[in-house]
């Protein structure tokens, strides 16, 4: 996890799209989709392929979805092109430009398994799952442990609805989320020194918090592969590495899982990973973050500004490494 300077192509985008302009563009896109014109949008050389792939996503008809205005952001939304071309997805490379490589991921058919301490283990097709749960849009901040951040419109459903469907038994304390495994499409998974498959976890209390969001959509469309299609997590008070992408399995357990990053570098990436500007990473400060849309350096907030939702969860956990 290195910090990179912005690429030249980020500069023309550095003025973030005001929300109003984004909404207008979205309703224009919607109108054009109806008229069968959408395939020509965004088909400039670099991004055409990714967007074309999204257009045939079988869940495309679910979008756009109504916005839940309870979740406010004061910063400008990060332009879509930046959000979809500056990514961390180690399965496709340990650098930020993985969006083309990620197109190799096959996102249908896609089954999600629920197992462990649940009343009944099951496998469910992603489109059946999406049909069961009404989607909404939320504007969330997203802060990587590498000290960059963005503001994005996720479409999704509260994870607590997902947990309800799974019906964990009373002894279950954690839920572990696991990413797909397929060396034939993900060159990173041929690098044996990583503890694949990528997993991360939450306590049941965290997973059922109002903020915790399961995300199949972004910018009023199906989630692009590079952002973790067909389903990823957004838990915005925690560092980005907790937000597992392309989930195939939810396992309920009574034992705290040792996650992908914890197995790799235990003293740098722990289980809780709550955001705190006063607790430095062993190799750099977390006091500030670079907004990848505007390029501005801004102060990092405790719990990424979401303390009113989540601070109570941790009030009796003084002995834990909550911020690493």
Q: Give the nearest residue (CB) to ligand MTE.
A: 240
Residue 245 binds: one of ligand MTE, Mo ion, none (C-beta under 5 to 8 A by kind): ligand MTE
Written as six digits, the tokens of 285 are: 């400060």
How near is the Cβ of 198 to ligand MTE at its closest, in Å?
Answer: 4
> In sequence order, which residues have a C-beta less than 8 Å from that of residue 235 and are 6 or more positions away?
202, 206, 211, 212, 213, 242, 243
> Which of these ranges, 84-92, 147-155, 201-209, 262-270, lies near Mo ion under the rule CB under 5 A?
84-92
Q: Residue 257 — φ and ψ, nearest 5°?
A: -75, 150
- Comparing C-alpha atoms, which of 277, 205, 280 is closest to residue 235? 205
CA 266/CA 21 separation, integer angstroms: 43
How near is the Cβ of 92 to ligand MTE at its closest, in Å?
Answer: 8
Coil, strand or helix at 74: coil
Coil, strand or helix at 322: coil
How near is the Cβ of 316 to ligand MTE at its closest, in Å?
Answer: 28
Q: Which of 148, 237, 241, 269 binds Mo ion (CB under 5 A)?
A: 241
Contact 89, 162 (CB under 8 A): no
Determine, following the binding rule CB under 5 A, whether residue 92 of this chain makes contact with Mo ion: no
CA 186/CA 191 separation, integer angstroms: 10
> Which of these ranges, 219-227, 232-240, 266-274, 293-301, lies near Mo ion under the rule CB under 5 A?
232-240
Say whether the peptide bond before residue 92 is cis (omega within 30 degrees of 0). no
Q: Which of 59, 78, 88, 274 binds Mo ion (CB under 5 A)?
A: 88
Determine, following the binding rule CB under 5 A, whether residue 228 of this chain makes contact with Mo ion: no
Q: Which of 65, 82, 144, 218 binds Mo ion (CB under 5 A)?
A: 144
How near is the Cβ of 262 to ligand MTE at its closest, in Å?
Answer: 13
CA 40/CA 51 separation, integer angstroms: 9
Determine, following the binding rule CB under 5 A, whether residue 163 of this chain makes contact with Mo ion: no
Written as six digits, the tokens of 158 are: 């509260």
CA 217/CA 324 separation, integer angstroms: 28
186-205 residues in contact with Mo ion (CB under 5 A) are none
Q: Which is nearer to Mo ion, 241 or 252 (CB)?
A: 241
Q: Which of 116, 220, 240, 257 binds Mo ion (CB under 5 A)?
A: 240
Binding site for ligand MTE (CB under 6 A): 87-91, 142, 144, 179, 198, 227-228, 240-241, 243-246
Residue ranges binding Mo ion (CB under 5 A): 88, 144, 240-241
């Amino acid at each position: 996890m290195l910090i990179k300077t912005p690429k030249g192509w980020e500069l023309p985008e550095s003025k973030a799209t005001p929300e109003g302009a984004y909404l207008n563009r979205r309703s224009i896109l919607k109108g054009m989709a109806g008229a069968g014109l959408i395939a020509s949008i965004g088909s400039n050389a670099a991004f055409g392929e990714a967007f074309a792939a999204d257009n045939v996503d079988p869940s495309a008809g679910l979008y756009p979805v109504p916005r839940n205005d309870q979740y406010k952001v004061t910063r400008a939304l990060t332009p879509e092109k930046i959000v979809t071309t500056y990514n961390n997805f180690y399965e496709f490379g340990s650098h930020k430009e993985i969006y083309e490589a990620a197109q190799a991921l096959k996102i249908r058919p896609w089954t999600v398994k629920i197992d462990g301490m649940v009343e009944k283990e099951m496998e469910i097709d992603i489109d059946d799952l999406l049909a069961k749960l009404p989607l909404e849009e939320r504007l969330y901040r997203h802060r990587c442990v590498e000290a960059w951040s963005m503001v994005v419109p996720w479409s999704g459903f509260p994870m607590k609805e997902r947990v309800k469907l799974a019906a964990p038994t009373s002894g279950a304390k954690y839920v572990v989320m696991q990413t797909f495994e397929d060396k034939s499409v993900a060159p990173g998974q041929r690098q044996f020194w990583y503890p694949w498959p990528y997993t991360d976890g939450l306590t049941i209390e965290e997973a059922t918090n109002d903020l915790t969001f399961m995300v199949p959509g972004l910018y009023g469309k199906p989630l692009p592969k590079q952002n973790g299609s067909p389903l990823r997590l957004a838990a915005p008070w925690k560092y980005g590495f907790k937000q597992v992408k392309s989930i195939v399995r939810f396992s309920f357990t009574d034992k705290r899982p040792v996650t992908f990053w914890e197995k790799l570098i235990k003293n740098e990436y722990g289980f809780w990973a709550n955001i705190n500007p006063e607790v430095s990473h062993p190799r750099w400060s977390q006091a500030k973050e670079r907004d990848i849309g505007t390029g501005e350096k801004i102060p990092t907030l405790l719990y990424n500004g979401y303390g009113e939702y989540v601070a109570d969860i941790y009030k009796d956990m003084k002995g834990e490494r909550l911020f690493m």
